[in-house]
A and B are shown apart, each in its own frame.
Chain A
């Protein structure tokens, strides 16, 4: 220790170590290695393959941990399945008591967990102590509440079963909480795999579960690497997979679970914009950057890593940022005066170094903090790239390290364009003191979380999750609960009666019902009737096998054109809900005026008169239903922090593909397309292949109902072929599919390309005549994604 007189001269901070004594004695207790936590017991680790949990600050081995093999995953799933039978039958109150006990015990062990997290992950103790662990406790408290309220707040919903959960290494215990708390609250049981870099707090949590009296098998922890995760994803008795991690692995999981009926939520990568307008509090925005990218070593999926600064203030802002960067302190994560610790592993450090090198080679200028780095450990100095362009690799790729990239813009429109011009859509940050500008920008961000004049704020009451290739599903709040539940009626649906659609023939039909004047059903794209690109049509047959007309054989190019038309019709999403409702009502009015004609058409397509008439009546009623709901499916204001408004807004996806069911050719189409457009989406719909004519007649109704061009596009033809093109299309944000189980699997698999949200019938038979199944908020929920906008206030 230097003398007081010496410090009086230097006025340095000096070391301020957090004690690791208790954690060291815990590790010592487990010096023979950690086994998996299965069915309420720690399995022995002897005889199992093990891996090392390292301290990234020192490279020392903290513990040896068993590597989960297929049989371990099997045992864990089996235990979870067994526990599900009783856990799911407990009253919400009984589950709430257990979750409450976990929350309490986490609070009572808060310092232990903080120190352990910092040692295992490398994050500064300031963060684990003040951010991670308090949020973990908060998450369990919040979800103890949902458990209590499950029956009253989520009527008609029940748990899914066994949830497989795979979490990342950047917020190990917090991500565990985000996964386990809602799953348990809803009555599910869990098999969770922590990241191989950071398994220790999950194992400590397992001990807390035991201490809290959680029934055996409700929570199971299996450690291991990606291979262990793959076993969990592939397991046949798992009902849900929740994953947080890279977009690359998210894609693999989407592909692997395609067609398995496993519910899926993915929280993936990002390259989130951080916009600084010229009227921002610049010093505050500088601190925002600190909290955005020099937080957790930049290993944050929602990090504001792409700085967009208005040209006029950019030099001043960069100068302020540079000054601030130099005051950051990097060092031992257990030092209480440290802002940044080491990155989690050498593999990550090398990846960061590689990207930074590439950034410099491409002409970027790297500014780095002058702070001292410890001699050993995986440290990387806080950094900022300037002289980079949207085309630069470091601007496009998620670096997942403490490196921001900075660019300028001239106008708000340009800022928003630059901000949204990415394949990701997790978060966005906006700094402006002008409420008009801030809210306009927030509304136009294509991102699941928007922070105004703040960044990286989290709360259990608010949903978290992305748009586009940042994944789908939400964690936290009411919206997060739905990811762990299923509607009771969905579970009662029988398997689909497969109609064995024959291949559509472009050849002339053998026999035909002659019409007085031949009618030509076309495709309907961009508000116009168009001929199919292929130049082919197929005959539509009635029950007797006679042709009653022809429909176009749509192909890839027709889908391409339809998506483009839908894409251009973006003003539909910003029209008022009242305006959309009016147009829906008008559609119903015009359809009603031609009810007799449509009823006849349905009969010609094979319906009995009574059924045709019922389908007609229900079609009109269903349009009314969604016209009614168009301006009533409100968002929420979440109760998060004091003096904050956290707005949860329901937003349309944009372009949706809808593959309609074979039965109820008109009603099935209406039941799916109307909720989608009521919420502001634009649709490319493929009607039932065997009975498309009711829908092609319907475009005449659309033409007379003031529906803007491109909002509904209709392409007839082979469903599976067109579905594949739609699922592959990167401009399509969401896809609904009704068809065979094999078809469901195919679209889910193909949707991995841009990670579009999918909703399929899972090979089940929907009953379009049953109001309690065929309409409702479930449809609207699937037609929207929730954006949470954080607006702190105060003057």
Chain B
């Protein structure tokens, strides 16, 4: 195994636990209070100048640079991987003083059929390939197919599998079924890390989000992730707040450290800062590293590049001055 390929993966895997409905069945999540906390998260904290620049570099290191489109091709993925390896223009890297250790993104995230192209393109870079699987985005294909899809992606070299849960199991509160499926998926992943996409836009209530988060973690998810990017509502701060609180509670119960990945709807440098603030406030600095924090995004990087150029030059930049992903 290429050791450098595992740099962004958190070594101790989530061992999971038996299903403990009593840990979450009586959970209370108050929507308006969550919204108030989320709304003041970014009014209570801000970062400026060098600090902002560093935080944006950190955001880059946590991005799962993603393409999940029906028209993806090997060449499209190749181009994305090139950007993943060199997300910032060399002159910006040098001015920021990062030439010794230029930043790369957290991972590249693609469909299973494009894993091999990505693995090839990223060879030697240390950047892991993540693959969505399990009938992404709806997850409504038979379980054997979903599991074999995972095994296929892992075989192709994916180090991380972003699975989708079967939303009906949450909507009907069938926790045993959800637990069993995610456990089976975890087993199918083998050494690859499992990121459980809850598709929170479909779950609707924050209580559902909390409960689904808990069950996924009990079943062994290494990360919990908000959205596929295909739901009507993707990552929001109140939903993210609920998930990181669940993750914190799970840590209190088990000692396990679980990662968090907001995805979908994060497009700007400002969004990146908002979510880093959320992670820092609710979980602490350990959760600001790619081992425990990823941002699923495709267009955010371009905005971060422009902001960083502005930091360096004091001039507002144009998108065309930075390489396409």
Q: A644 contacts which chain B residues (CB < 8 A)?
A: 32
Give chain B nearest CB distance to A18 CB in angstroms.
Answer: 10
CB proximity to B under 8 Å, residues A1-44: 1-8, 10-16
Chain B residue at minimal CB-CB distance from A279? B28
Q: Is the CB of A16 within 8 A of B28?
A: no
How far, in whole Å, are A157 and B36 apart by their CA atoms in the complex?
Answer: 40
A12-B51 CB under 8 A given contacts A453-B33, A793-B32:
yes
- Which listed segment binds A: B40-48, B187-195, B313-321? B40-48
Q: Identify 16 residue pairs between A and B in the complex whose beta-carbon atoms are under 8 Å apart, listed by A's number.
A: A4-B54, A6-B54, A8-B57, A10-B285, A13-B47, A14-B49, A126-B43, A126-B44, A130-B43, A280-B28, A280-B30, A282-B28, A336-B45, A453-B33, A454-B33, A643-B32
How far, in whole Å, are A454 and B245 apart by their CA atoms in the complex?
Answer: 19
Q: A766-795 CB contact bits vs B (8 Å, 1 = yes)?
A: 000000000000000000000000001111
CB proximity to A under 8 Å, residues B94-110: 96-98
Q: A272-290 CB contact bits vs B (8 Å, 1 = yes)?
A: 0000000111111101100
Identify B32's interface contact among A279, A280, A285, A794, CB under 8 A: A794
Q: Is the CB of A15 within 8 A of B43?
A: no
A7-B51 CB under 8 A given contacts A126-B43, A284-B37, A337-B46:
yes
Chain B residue at minimal CB-CB distance from A14? B51
Q: How many A-B residue pairs have CB under 8 A?
A: 101
CB proximity to B under 8 Å, residues A378-437: 433
Q: Is A327 an interface residue (CB 8 A)?
A: yes
How far, in whole Å, are A643 and B47 apart by their CA atoms in the complex?
Answer: 32
Q: B30 contacts which chain A residues (CB < 8 A)?
A: 280-281, 284, 433, 453
The 4 closest A-B pairs by CB, nearest first: A284-B33, A14-B51, A7-B54, A792-B32
Q: B9-23 CB contact bits vs A (8 Å, 1 = yes)?
A: 000000000000000
Give chain B nearest CB distance to A330 CB in angstroms.
Answer: 12
Q: Is the CB of B54 within 8 A of A13?
A: no
Q: Is B120 an interface residue (CB 8 A)?
A: no
* Residues of B participating in the A interface, judged by any CB pair closer than 8 Å: 26, 28-37, 40, 43-51, 53-55, 57-58, 96-98, 205, 207, 245, 276, 280-281, 285, 288
How far, in whole Å, are A10 and B276 apart by their CA atoms in the complex?
Answer: 13
- Residues of A in contact (CB 8 Å), total 40
How far, in whole Å, are A233 and B205 apart by their CA atoms in the complex?
Answer: 55
Give chain A nearest CB distance to B140 CB in angstroms.
Answer: 26
Q: Is the CB of B46 within 8 A of A11?
A: no
Q: A285 contacts which chain B residues (CB < 8 A)?
A: 33
CB proximity to B under 8 Å, residues A61-93: none
How far, in whole Å, are A795 and B207 apart by their CA atoms in the complex?
Answer: 8
Q: B49 contacts which chain A residues (CB < 8 A)?
A: 1, 14
How far, in whole Å, are A291 and B44 apart by their CA atoms in the complex?
Answer: 12
Q: B34 contacts which chain A residues (CB < 8 A)?
A: 281, 284
CB proximity to B under 8 Å, residues A634-656: 643-644
Identify A13's interface contact among B28, B51, B53, B98, CB under 8 A: B51
Chain A residue at minimal CB-CB distance from B276? A11
Q: B45 contacts which chain A residues (CB < 8 A)?
A: 13, 336-337
Q: A287 contacts which chain B residues (CB < 8 A)?
A: 33, 36-37
Q: Is the CB of B48 within 8 A of A14?
A: yes
How far, in whole Å, are A12 and B48 apart by their CA atoms in the complex?
Answer: 11
Q: Is A339 an interface residue (CB 8 A)?
A: yes
Q: B276 contacts which chain A residues (CB < 8 A)?
A: 11
How far, in whole Å, are A433 and B33 apart by their CA atoms in the complex?
Answer: 11
Chain B residue at minimal CB-CB distance from A2? B50
Q: Is the CB of A16 within 8 A of B46?
A: yes
Q: A327 contacts which chain B residues (CB < 8 A)?
A: 281
A279-B26 CB under 8 A given contacts A11-B280, A337-B45:
yes
Chain A residue at minimal CB-CB distance from B33? A284
Q: Is the CB of B47 within 8 A of A14?
A: yes
Q: A282 contacts which chain B residues (CB < 8 A)?
A: 28
How far, in whole Å, are A252 and B276 apart by their CA atoms in the complex?
Answer: 52
Identify A1's interface contact among B29, B50, B207, CB under 8 A: B50
Q: Is the CB of B96 within 8 A of A4?
A: yes
Q: B36 contacts which chain A residues (CB < 8 A)?
A: 287, 291, 454
How far, in whole Å, are A337 and B42 apart by their CA atoms in the complex?
Answer: 9
Give chain B nearest CB distance to A370 CB in angstroms.
Answer: 12
Q: A794 contacts which chain B residues (CB < 8 A)?
A: 31-32, 35
Identify A4's interface contact among B97, B207, B288, CB under 8 A: B97
Identify B55's interface contact among A2, A11, A126, A336, CB under 8 A: A11
How far, in whole Å, are A643 and B37 apart by their CA atoms in the complex?
Answer: 16
Q: A279 contacts which chain B residues (CB < 8 A)?
A: 26, 28
How far, in whole Å, are A3 and B51 apart by their CA atoms in the complex?
Answer: 9
Give chain A nearest CB distance to B94 CB in angstroms.
Answer: 12
Q: Is the CB of A283 within 8 A of B50?
A: no
Q: A746-761 CB contact bits vs B (8 Å, 1 = yes)?
A: 0000000000000000
Chain A residue at minimal CB-CB distance from B279? A11
Give chain B nearest CB distance to A560 CB in angstroms.
Answer: 46
How far, in whole Å, are A16 and B273 apart by their CA atoms in the complex?
Answer: 14
Q: B57 contacts which chain A residues (CB < 8 A)?
A: 4, 8
Q: B44 contacts which chain A residues (CB < 8 A)?
A: 126, 337, 339
How far, in whole Å, are A12 and B55 apart by their CA atoms in the complex?
Answer: 9
Q: A6 contacts which chain B residues (CB < 8 A)?
A: 54
Give chain B nearest CB distance to A87 CB in angstroms.
Answer: 38
Give chain A nearest CB distance to B298 CB in angstroms.
Answer: 24
How far, in whole Å, are A282 and B32 apart by their CA atoms in the complex?
Answer: 14
Q: Is the CB of A4 within 8 A of B53?
A: yes
Q: B33 contacts which chain A residues (CB < 8 A)?
A: 281, 284-285, 287-288, 453-454, 792
Give chain A nearest CB distance to B167 CB in angstroms.
Answer: 18
Q: A12 contacts which chain B residues (CB < 8 A)?
A: 51
Q: B50 contacts which chain A residues (CB < 8 A)?
A: 1-4, 7, 14
How far, in whole Å, are A10 and B280 apart by their CA atoms in the complex?
Answer: 11
Q: Is the CB of A3 within 8 A of B97?
A: yes
How far, in whole Å, are A795 and B32 apart by their CA atoms in the complex?
Answer: 8
- If A11-B58, A130-B40 are given as contacts, then 7 extra A-B residue pairs at C-beta distance below 8 Å, sorted by A number, are A4-B54, A8-B57, A279-B28, A281-B29, A284-B33, A284-B37, A287-B36
Q: Is the CB of A795 within 8 A of B205?
A: yes
A8-B37 CB under 8 A given contacts A284-B30, A337-B45:
no
Q: Which of B30, B35, B97, B207 has the most CB of A within 10 A?
A: B30
Q: A336 contacts which chain B residues (CB < 8 A)?
A: 45-46
Q: Is the CB of A454 within 8 A of B48?
A: no
Q: Is the CB of A433 within 8 A of B28?
A: yes
Give chain A nearest CB distance to B104 CB in angstroms.
Answer: 14
Give chain B nearest CB distance to A794 CB in angstroms.
Answer: 4
Q: Is the CB of B32 within 8 A of A8?
A: no
Chain B residue at minimal CB-CB distance from A15? B48
Chain A residue at minimal CB-CB distance from B96? A4
Q: A248-286 CB contact bits vs B (8 Å, 1 = yes)?
A: 000000000000000000000000000000011111110
CB proximity to B under 8 Å, residues A567-614: none
Q: A284 contacts which chain B residues (CB < 8 A)?
A: 29-30, 33-34, 37
Q: Is the CB of A281 within 8 A of B32?
A: no
Q: A454 contacts which chain B residues (CB < 8 A)?
A: 32-33, 36
How far, in whole Å, are A794 and B204 apart by their CA atoms in the complex?
Answer: 12
How far, in whole Å, are A454 and B43 apart by their CA atoms in the complex?
Answer: 18
How far, in whole Å, are A291 and B98 apart by their CA atoms in the complex?
Answer: 40
Give chain A nearest CB distance to B269 CB in angstroms.
Answer: 15
Q: Is the CB of A16 within 8 A of B32?
A: no
How far, in whole Å, are A681 and B276 apart by their CA atoms in the complex?
Answer: 55
Chain A residue at minimal CB-CB distance from B32? A792
How far, in whole Å, are A659 and B43 apart by their CA atoms in the complex?
Answer: 55
Chain A residue at minimal CB-CB distance from B58? A8
Chain A residue at minimal CB-CB distance from B51? A14
Give chain A nearest CB distance to B242 CB in angstroms.
Answer: 9
Identify B47's interface contact among A16, A126, A792, A795, CB under 8 A: A16
Q: B55 contacts which chain A residues (CB < 8 A)?
A: 7, 11
How far, in whole Å, are A61 and B97 apart by their CA atoms in the complex?
Answer: 42
Give chain A nearest CB distance to B151 CB in angstroms.
Answer: 37
Give chain A nearest CB distance to B294 CB in angstroms.
Answer: 16
